[in-house]
Amino acid sequence: MTIYHLRTYHLRIYHLRTYHLRIYHLPLHPQPRVLLLSTVHPPNDPRIAGKIAPALATHYDVCWQPLPFFKYLVWRLLLVHPMALWQFIKIRPQIVHIFVAELLPLAFVFRCLGAKVVYEVQENLYKKMAFKTHNKGWLFQYFFRFFDHQARRFFYCVFTEKAYLNEYQNLTKPHAVIQNFADLTWTTLPLPNPNSPTFFYAGVISLERSLDTIINALALLKSTYPDLKMHLFGKLNLTQTQLEQLPHYAAVRQHLVFHGYVSQRVAFAHAQSAVAGIALLKPIGDYPDSYPTKLFDYMALGLPVVTSNFELYQQIVETQRCGFCIAPDNASQLAETLKWLIEHPEEARNQGKRGRTAVEAMYNWPNEAQKLLDFYQKLRPLQQ
């Protein structure tokens, strides 16, 4: 049990089983109770458990209720959604904050039972549905579109990107854009070894996020730097067979370190020896309209960033002079960029410092947390 002392109240975190995490705020005076619900996020999800729950716990009685995960939606509907309903009945919150669209039908039940519903949109499924490998049957898509449009009328919406407002128009309730900017608690002073350079990646590992480009670039770079390492933290969205079939994988497999999904504290410890953080996404789905969270995490860690040459990303990286924006499918360009960063350590360090400064000034979670509290304040009078 970990207890955080926050002025006149306590924030308690209880670990129950391997998937069960609750966060309760126990104020001196009763406050509205908020239930945070997701059927896909892990218990230590950086945004929900690390940012939203603590921010709300300063003014609300908060319960973060992650649930068992099943890969296929049909099993979640049959087995997990009834558990979510039971948790609602047991806790009886005044506000339910859901983080996945599949919970929308259940959210209307919550609404009928008297709760206000906050619907958080973390991705534009209208653009990404075609690229999903499962859970995209026509029946699922039909119900998603139906309930998503109903949610625009009856729920209070939170969007993680401004671009999502192009899709979500004619909203009848208050809404807010709460971006997933960096937590300022993470601080490193990168001290890379030029003779054994390492690179850092944190996030879902997939071809859509340029894993093939990274592998091909490392194959080009390893002749000059035979001791280089690439540390990758996150879920691998390829099978071992698919991974081994990638061109040049065999040539660099000894240079790749797959750590799996771990806490940010564990992952970010490896950033201290990294030359740069890589955040390359290909121009598919809603990626060109959405910031990768790791972009701001790398900046907060003081790392130079290497990211895609999308206009949205260029407005930050090139304006702040904190890294490079390159074509996400150009392995030669990536190799040359990484080589330049290795061979110009002072310039690279200055890029990292400028990125950190920009996060401290603008792209940080405390600023977004205040927006979240201001948004929730619009719901509080309705609880009286």
pLDDT in tens, 26-67: 444 578 999 999 999 999 999 999 999 999 999 999 999 888
Residues forming beta bridges with residue 9, ordered by sequence position: 6
Count Cβ neighbours within 10 Å for each residue of 268-289 and write b for 16 or more, e otherwise: bebbbbbbbbbbbbbeebbbbb
pLDDT of residue 59: 94
Least confident stretch, 188-202, 307-321, 335-349:
188-202
Which bin fits 170, alpha (ψ -120 to 50), beta or left (φ > 0)? left
Residue 254's pLDDT band (cuts 50, 70, 90): very high
Which segments of the chain belong to CATH 3.40.50.2000? 2-180+365-383, 198-361
156, pLDDT greater than 60: yes
- pLDDT score of 177: 98
Per cent of the chain over pLDDT 90 is 76
Residue 104 reports pLDDT greater than 50: yes
Contact 59, 81 (CB under 8 A): no
pLDDT grade for 126, boundaries at 50, 70 and 90: confident
247, pLDDT greater than 80: yes
Contact yes or no for 197/340 (Cβ under 8 A): no
- Using the predicted structure, report yes or no on whether residue 359 has a pLDDT greater than 60: yes
Q: Is the pLDDT of residue 151 over 60?
A: yes
pLDDT for 20:
41
Mean of pLDDT over the chain? 89
CATH class of 198-361: alpha beta
382, pLDDT greater than 80: no
pLDDT, one tens digit per residue, over 168-202 is 998 999 999 999 999 888 766 677 887 899 999 99
CA 74 to chain centre: 24
Amino acid symbol at 229:
K
pLDDT value of position 21: 46
Instruction: Report the pLDDT averaged over residues 207-214.
Output: 97
Predicted confidence at residue 65, as pLDDT, reads 81
Mean pLDDT, residues 22-28: 48
Q: How confident is the model at residue 381 (pLDDT cuts 50, 70, 90)?
A: low
Is the pLDDT at 6 greater than 60? The verdict is: no
Confidence of residue 72 (pLDDT cuts 50, 70, 90): confident
What pLDDT is attached to residue 187? 66
| Conformation bin of residue 268: beta by default, left when phi > 0, alpha when psi is -120 to 50 | alpha
- 193 or 124: whose pLDDT is higher? 124
CA atoms within 13 A on the CB side of 275: 23
Q: What is the CATH number of domain 2-180+365-383?
A: 3.40.50.2000
